[in-house]
Amino acid sequence: MAGSQDAKKEVVVFDAEAARDLVKELTGNFASGKTRSYEWRVAQLKNMLKLCDENEKEIVEALRLDLSKPELESTIYEIALLKNSCKLALKELKHWIKPEKVRTSLTTFPSSAEIVSEPLGVVLIISAWNYPFLLSLDPVIGAIAAGNAVVLKPSEVSPASSSLLLKLATKYLDSSSIRVIEGAVAETTALLEQKWDKILYTGNGRVGRFVMAAAAKHLTPVHLELGGKCPVIVDEGINLQVTTRRIIAGKWGCNNGQACISPDYMITTKDYATKLVESFKKELERFYGKNPLESKDLSRIVNFNHFSRLTKLLDEDKVSGKIVHGGERDEVNLKIAPTLLLDVPQNSLIMKEEIFGPLLPIVMVDKIEESFDLINSGTKPLAAYLFTNNKKLKQQFVISVSAGGVVVNDTAVHLAVPTLPFGGVGESGTGAYHGKFSFDTFSHKKAVLYRGFAGDAPVRYPPYSSGKIRLLKVLLGGGIWDIIRALFGWGKA
């Protein structure tokens, strides 16, 4: 009997006390200066590359178990993008960490100045389920490159990926400064009760508000990667086949619409809508066959709750009769076919909520320019897309539409450009990362001014006189001739 009890595994509870101990331990390790060294950063980034190279099959399998994600999407959109981020950081790290020399002014002459990028400290990264490896490890790359200690909390909604992330991080990365904590609401809450030097959260606005409220208690800076209703405008007179294919790639080719930058709804003119729908029908059948529910190139819906949510959007009375293509669903295998809906009412649920799935409503306008007001009447999206050959319309789109990022004549591809910041605005998020922006988001830009003891001007010290006031005014805001005039007492103060 005693032997049987001894054989039972002890359940480890991660509560607020455990979270507090974790932060204390990592804070001590960060204070030792270990993570600040260039050698440590490079070693961890190289190990991250090895993690991706040596475990590609395991990562692809975990993504298949969680999302039925096609192998191409797993290897290209998750693993390859991660490896590119690692390689860029390794290549540019010496340049990124080098202090930036800046000019000084006459008020501090003689002096020199620089901006030093220093790590923030111990940071918390809470990632999402839809791209569980990319959205977990890409921010970690930036945090490591900047010299921080890191705690990663993967999403419990993709359990196979979460478990594998813990296993691989423990094997490849320095566990004294980089930790993965699995769990759900209780564990996340325990982590958020602690004081961090920065929190990066990827997910939805509802949880984002909770994260900000928890962070506010400690005045912790927060980086939010959220989403929103990303619009795609389709003008007339474009290459219709290429347009249709690129929208399909950005919608159903990105985790079957379960991506924050996937087109959420489409806007076109009443005159062009029928032609556009016919092109979609043709290309969708070409890509996914006559029965898309059997296609191996479409991810499934992540779980039954999300399947039910999407079904509710589709079955609303004012929406169900608007389906012009697709609509098929398989509740057992959690699959929903690519679905087009034409002329959906603006007051329907599907036009109020972020869809995050394979449904694409089409909104019709009389003139394509009306699209901008329609988009701006809602919250600011994470991404906005326009297909047109009209130069004036492109310029108007970039100026008029406020979004995290905009793309003309394609969808989603800006994510793969490391020289562009990736992030939201307003309710679609705050902060940006990717490439050097990842390094910057986890760094403090420290102002440093160097002076010697020469050139100590008595003008700054009491007793104050009208001549000193006049000279200080021109030193702070005047030109060289103003300074000369003040030195000789010429002119008025």
Q: Are residues 285 and 218 in the same domain?
A: no
Would you list the DSSP string of 16-28? HHHHHHHHHHHHH
Q: 408 by DSSP, 3-state: which?
A: strand
Residue type, 177: S
Full domain range(s) for residue 280: 231-427
Look at residue 485 in the predicted model and tell me its pLDDT.
66
Nearest Cα neighbor of 404 from 230, 218, 179, 181 is 230
Residues 203 and 309 in one domain: no
The single residue of 225, 230, 354, 427 carrying the catalytic annotation is 225
Q: Round the CA-based radius of gyration of the chain to a whole number and report it.
A: 27
Does residue 37 lie within any of the structural domains?
Answer: yes
**Residues 214 and 281 reside in one and the same domain:** no
CA distances from 470 to 105, 346, 359, 464, 477 (A): 18, 63, 68, 11, 11
Is 2 domain-assigned? Answer: no
| Structural domain includes residue 4 | no
In a domain, 3, yes or no: no
Rounded CA separation 146/301 (Å): 36
Indicate the DSSP class of residue 146.
T
Neighbours of 452 (CB within 10 A): 9
Same domain, yes or no: 208 and 299: no
Number of H helices, E strands in the chain: 20, 20
Stretch (H or E) spanning 141: helix 134-145
Report the alpha-carbon distance of residue 172 to residue 51 in Å, rounded: 6
Q: Which of 73, 260, 354, 427 is catalytic?
A: 260
Answer whether 0.85 is exceeded by the pTM. Answer: yes
- Residue 260 among the catalytic residues: yes
Instruction: Per residue of the chain (493 residues), give pLDDT as tens.
Output: 444 444 444 557 899 999 999 999 999 999 999 999 999 999 999 999 999 999 999 999 999 999 999 999 999 999 999 999 999 999 999 999 999 999 998 788 889 999 999 999 999 999 999 999 999 999 999 999 999 999 999 999 999 999 999 999 999 999 999 999 999 999 999 999 999 999 999 999 999 999 999 999 999 999 999 999 999 999 999 999 999 999 999 999 999 999 999 999 999 999 999 999 999 999 999 999 999 999 999 999 999 999 999 999 999 999 999 999 999 999 999 999 999 999 999 999 999 999 999 999 999 999 999 999 999 999 999 999 999 999 999 999 999 999 999 999 999 999 999 999 999 999 999 999 999 999 999 999 999 999 999 888 888 889 988 887 877 777 777 666 666 666 666 665 4
Report the candidate in 278, 256, 232 with the shortest Cα–Cα distance to residue 334: 256
Tokens at residue 408, please? 């003309």
* CA distances to 104, 195, 456 from 482, in Å: 19, 50, 21
Residues constituting the chain: 493
Query: Is the same domain home to 170 and 151?
Result: yes
Q: Which residues touch 194 (CB under 8 Å, ≥6 apart)?
A: 16, 19, 20, 22, 23, 124, 218
What pairs with residue 363 in β-bridges? 267
Helical pair 480-487 and 466-477, crossing angle rounded to 10 deg: 170
Within a domain: 159: yes
Residue 174 and residue 244 in one domain? no
Please indicate, yes or no, whether residues 107 and 206 belong to a single structural domain of this protein. yes
User: How many whole angstroms separate alpha carbon 155 and alpha carbon 293?
Assistant: 26
Q: Is residue 350 part of a domain?
A: yes
| C-alpha 218: how far from chain center | 23
Residue 489 exposed, middle or buried by CB count within 10 Å (0-12, 13-18, 19+): exposed
Compute φ and ψ for 367, nearest 5 degrees. Answer: -125, 140
> What per-residue confidence (pLDDT) applies to 464?
85
In whole angstroms, give the CA distance from residue 440 to residue 423.
13
Q: Is residue 477 part of a domain?
A: no
Q: What is the DSSP code (8-state) at residue 218?
A: T
Q: What six digits make up the tokens of 442?
A: 């986890």
CA distance 416 to 398: 20
Alpha helices in 382-425 (DSSP H): 391-400
Please check whether residues 298 and 163 belong to one and the same domain. no
Residue 450 within any structural domain of the chain: no
Overall domain count for the chain: 2
* Helix, strand, coil content of the chain in percent (nearest 5): 50, 15, 35
DSSP E strands, 288-328: 323-325
Cα gap 82→97, rounded to integer Å = 21
* pLDDT, position 469: 80
Strands (E), 197-264: 198-202, 222-225, 231-234
Question: What gap in Å lies between CA 360 and CA 354, rounded to an integer?
Answer: 11
Residues 135, 202: contact at Cβ < 8 Å? Answer: yes
Same domain, 187 and 316: no
- Measured between alpha carbons, how far is residue 17 from residues 23, 187, 214, 245 in Å? 10, 11, 17, 52
Look up 230 and say whether it is catalytic: no
* Residues 209 and 340 placed together within one structural domain of the fold: no
By C-alpha distance, which of 109, 105, 491, 103 is closest to 481?
A: 491
Q: The domain that contains 393 carries what CATH number?
A: 3.40.309.10
Indicate if 261 and 398 belong to the same structural domain.
yes
Yes or no: say if 428 and 204 are a contact pair by the CB < 8 Å rule: no
- Between helix 38-54 and helix 81-97 the angle, nearest 10°, is 170
| Crossing angle for the helix pair 159-172 and 38-54, to the nearest 10 degrees | 130
CATH label of the domain that carries residue 152: 3.40.605.10
Alpha helix stretches (DSSP H) within 355-408: 370-376, 391-400
Same domain, yes or no: 215 and 274: no
Side-chain-side CA neighbours of residue 60 (13 Å):
13
